[in-house]
Amino acid sequence: MDEFMQEAINQARKSLSEGGIPIGSSLVKNGELVASGHNKRVQENNPILHGEMDCLNNAGRVGSFRNTVIYSTLMPCYMCAGTIVQFKIPKVIVGESRTFLGAREFMEQHGVEVIDLDLPECVDMMNQFIAEKPTLWNEDIGEL
């Protein structure tokens, strides 16, 4: 497995171990890891601190994002996809989209290349979390 997706998965597992939602992300620029992060909505009581948002926040000011790739264990939602489009991140590599379809079409319509790896490890992690904490999951995706 790609080391950057593995980092995103490690971040998702970290979030889960902290009582949060198991979604992780990593940002790569010129083939090097710039930052990683995970969903901290629960841990920091912050409704917009999704995995991708935490990762980008941790990256800080990197100048142009045009030669970056963002990895996420789950297909980004519209909020995160909007940020990806706004920052002109050209490529998103996703662990899975079976448990959440997200905003793939939106990103692609704005020129973002989206690669869905459909990794069983990511699918299993989300399926287990959703089964164990459906209310928390529905809150995260705005379905409560």
Q: What is the pLDDT of residues 76-128, one digit of tens each?
A: 999 999 999 999 999 999 999 999 999 999 999 999 999 999 999 999 999 99
**End-to-end Cα, the chain, rounded Å:** 35
Options 3, 32, 52, 108, the catalytic residue = 52
Q: Where are the domains of the chain?
A: 3-141
Angle at 47 between CA 42 and CA 53, to 5 degrees: 95
Q: What is the pLDDT of residues 30-49, one digit of tens each?
A: 999 999 999 999 999 999 99
The pLDDT confidence band at residue 143, using thresholds 50, 70 and 90, is confident
Q: What is the structure's pLDDT at 32?
A: 96
Does residue 113 sit in helix, strand or coil?
strand
- The answer, yes or no, to whether residue 1 has pLDDT greater than 80, is no
Residues with Cβ within 8 Å of 58's Cβ and at least 6 positions away in sequence, in order, are 35, 36, 37
Q: What is the structure's pLDDT at 137?
A: 94
Structure tokens given for 81: 């996809």
Catalytic residue at 52? yes
Pick from 81, 84, 76, 70: which is nearest to 36 by CA?
70
Q: Does domain 3-141 have CATH number 3.30.9.10?
A: no
Instruction: Report residue 54: phi and psi, to 5°.
Output: -65, -45
